């Protein structure tokens, strides 16, 4: 059996960011302004602060404008909706992202629905979810888009592949399944009530694991030669007390059988922000009538 190919998400994300930077420069030259991404952070969740910081830095690095709104945890629903309304109307803002989760008491569903679908760069608005489902052009959720780009980096056509997506969340499992369907895969969505999950996964030429359970998908669940995209990010105990990150797939076991696999970290993770930047440029280009 040939050695499994490691899908290097970091390198693929970097290449994607370079492409976006070229597009962003062209956008600015044609419109006389940079594409703008507004990120709204409410409260002081440490993980969210780290994400928002890297989003801002990478936005600027690709030649786009980063606009950040940091609001206190006590912000009311009305105040937050007011800000979204202003960002919707602001011509310099092409993309709006509200960092989730919101502090308790704020209704994230209502906030997402208040975002102009044309600026919904997270792709979570029901209008964009509906467009994805009906095959209309839409802003597509970033992590699922990253998964598909990673799979296509090793198999440019996914046509006819048996794909099994483990997990059915609105932010990962369901949209990734829709995207794979659009790529002409035969898609099965598995979840916590699926009977004989190992048997279902064994059918797959392409497995996307988005569960949130460390190393749940074992090596002997995987068909030899399959492509495995591991979305899971789980911190488990390690000898040094700091903990280490693992995916939803038992990496070393799987590596012995797969055709190609994404590592954790360094696989799907780096693609998420790169896809957010791509969505921002897409949204900007559509709004400016350039796409
Ligand atoms: P959710 O908790 O929203 O969904 C998890 C899904 O897994 C559910 O559909 C659930 O099924 C299913 N599931 C849970 N237990 C089992 C089981 N024993 N067997 C089969 N299916 C099971 O998680 P998310 O989709 O938000 O995230 C999934 C993982 O991806 C997490 O580790 C998260 O940290 C990571 N993630 C990574 C991102 C990145 O940038 N790399 C971005 C987003 C998420 P049911 O519906 O029946 O409960």
pLDDT in tens, 106-150: 999 999 999 999 999 999 999 999 999 999 999 999 999 999 999
Residue among 191, 198, 208 to mutate when testing ligand 1 (max atoms within 8 A of CB) = 191
Residue bearing the CA closest to ligand 1, atom 8: 167
Ligand 1, from 50, 231, 277: best to mutate by most atoms within 8 Å of Cβ?
A: 231
Q: What is the per-residue pLDDT across 174-210, written as a single tens digit (0 to 9) for each? A: 999 999 999 999 999 999 999 999 999 999 999 999 9
Dist. CA 182–CA 19, nearest whole Å: 23
pLDDT band at 1 (very low <50, low <70, confident <90, very high): low
Least confident of 81-85, 105-109, 199-203, 235-239: 235-239
Question: Tens digits of per-residue pLDDT, 47-68?
Answer: 999 999 999 999 999 999 999 9
Query: 39 to each of 57, 84, 141, 213, 280, how far by Cα in Å?
Result: 12, 10, 15, 29, 11
Confidence of residue 256 (pLDDT cuts 50, 70, 90): very high
Q: Whose CA is nearest to atom 5 of ligand 1?
A: 211
| Averaged pLDDT for residues 150-163 | 98
Catalytic positions, written as ranges: 55, 99, 122
pLDDT score recorded for residue 52: 97
Order of strands, sheet of 227-230, starting from the edge strand that comes earlier in the sequence: 5-6, 260-261, 227-230, 206-209, 162-166, 186-190
Domains of the chain: 31-116 (3.40.50.10860), 142-269 (3.40.50.720)
| Ligand 1 binding residues, C-beta < 6 A | 143, 166-169, 171-173, 190-194, 197, 210-213, 231-234, 268-269, 272
């Amino acid at each position: 059996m040939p050695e499994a190919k490691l899908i290097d998400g970091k390198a693929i994300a970097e290449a994607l960011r370079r492409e976006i930077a070229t597009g962003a420069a062209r956008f600015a030259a044609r419109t006389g302004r940079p594409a703008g991404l507004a990120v709204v952070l409410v409260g002081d969740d440490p993980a969210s602060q780290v994400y928002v910081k890297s989003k801002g830095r990478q936005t600027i690095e690709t030649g786009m404008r980063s606009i950040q709104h940091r609001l206190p945890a006590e912000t009311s629903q009305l105040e937050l909706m007011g800000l979204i309304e202003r960002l919707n109307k602001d011509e310099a803002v092409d993309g709006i992202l509200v960092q989730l989760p919101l502090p308790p008491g704020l209704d994230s569903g209502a906030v997402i629905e208040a975002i102009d679908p044309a600026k919904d760069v997270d792709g979570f608005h029901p209008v964009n979810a509906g467009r994805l489902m009906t095959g209309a052009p839409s802003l597509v959720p970033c992590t699922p888009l990253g998964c598909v780009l990673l799979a296509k980096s090793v198999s440019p056509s996914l046509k006819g592949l048996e794909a099994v997506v483990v997990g059915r969340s609105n932010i990962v499992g369901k949209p990734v399944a829709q995207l794979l369907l659009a790529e002409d895969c035969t898609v099965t969505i598995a979840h916590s009530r699926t009977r004989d999950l190992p048997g279902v996964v064994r059918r797959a030429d392409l497995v996307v694991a988005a569960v949130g359970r460390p190393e749940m998908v074992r090596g002997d669940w995987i068909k030899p030669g399959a492509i495995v995209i591991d979305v899971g990010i789980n911190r488990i105990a390690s000898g040094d007390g700091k903990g280490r990150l693992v995916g939803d797939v038992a990496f070393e076991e799987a590596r012995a059988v797969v055709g190609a696999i994404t590592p954790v970290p360094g696989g799907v993770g780096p693609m998420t922000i790169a896809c957010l930047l791509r969505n921002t440029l897409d949204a900007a280009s559509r709004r400016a009538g350039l796409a």
